[in-house]
Amino acid sequence: MCGLAGIWDRRQKTAPAAVAAVAEAMTDTLRHRGPDDGAVFTDAGAWFALGHRRLSIVDLSPAGSQPMISSCGRFVISYNGEVYNAAELRPELEAAGRRFRGHCDTEVIVEGAAVWGVEATVRRLIGMFAIALWDRRERVLYLIRDRLGIKPLYWANFDDRVLFGSELKALRADASWRPALDRDSLAAYLRFAYVPAPHTIYRAVQKLPPGTILTVRERGAPEIASFWSLADVARSGQSGRLDLGEDEATRQLDALLRDAVGRRFFYRRGADAGAKPAPGSQLLDRFPRAWLRRGTACRRGGAPSGHRPHRTLHFA
């Protein structure tokens, strides 16, 4: 778990040194998310600052420190998450002439943005992530949240003073902002025991929706665009159902599980330690194979009369 935070004073009313100080204060509130390291990048000419708190998992060396600048110098990234297919994307980027300094997945994201573009890169990532990406050449800020919203990311635009962070407390570190309770969000919390996205407990502060990219330019309103939608996936599945027998369905599910577990196991072992992806068979074969069974009961003891038989996935 890492933490990111930043500020962009598009009004240019705050001294660049003060902008950097705000970003540092915001980042310090996230020390518990990243106790290993912390730093702030400042683009003084744009009145922009970006901070990061690091929990080192992959590539423990200084080469994995953030904020990280792409080898061409155009993009700066602060990122919280895990990208499980980074090792597969890296050779393509090296073939395109990108120079890598370390072995962390952060480098793959920032170099991918420089080679393939921001949205094209995000679409290729397999993992969970909250990303703040600054384009120094075009002066554009991108905030990106993973497909299912596993990693948190909050943002606000107060009269062209853009704040963002992994937690709401980071935004509160900006003394110029006076937090105001959103009464509708409070009512929702009392009713549902949570505040539905994109709202937060504070007025004018939003959660970035899952599967979206927020683009902020020097002028104009911030724009949110979707790069992935669960609803679209569901509709696609309904319209193109697979005509498979039980054995083939089991085989395909088993292959998907082996691939998913293998990727995550490799990431947790650490690519920088010289580990190689363990074949899924070595991982899942420690347990009896997944098997599908037709049943008539949801739980031990049977089901109500007339209950439709269902399929149950079993792991022992």
How far does CA 59 lie from the centroid of its chain? 19
Question: Which H/E stretch holds residue 185?
Answer: helix 183-192
3-state secondary structure of 164: strand
Query: 215-221, long-range: CB within 8 Å, 24+ apart, which pairs?
Result: 215/140, 215/141, 215/142, 216/8, 216/10, 216/140, 216/141, 216/142, 216/143, 216/157, 216/162, 217/138, 217/139, 217/140, 218/10, 218/46, 218/139, 218/140, 219/10, 221/157
Closest C-alpha among 106, 109, 223 to residue 155: 223
Which residues fall within 8 angstroms of residue 183, CB to CB, at 6 or more apart? none
210 token code pair:
């899952």
Which residues fall within 8 angstroms of residue 235, CB to CB, at 6 or more apart? none
Residue 2 among the catalytic residues: yes
State which amino acid sits at residue 237: G
21 token code pair:
């100080």
Bridge partners of 39, per DSSP, are 52
Q: Given the residues 2, 72, 104, 298, select the one marked as catalytic.
A: 2
Q: What is the dihedral of CA 25, 30, 32, 38, to 10 degrees?
A: -70
Query: 15-18, long-range: CB within 8 Å, 24+ apart, which pairs?
Result: 16/42, 16/44, 16/45, 16/47, 17/44
265 token code pair:
């196991």
User: Quick check: 4 and 165 in contact, CB under 8 A?
Assistant: yes
Which residues are known to be catalytic? 2
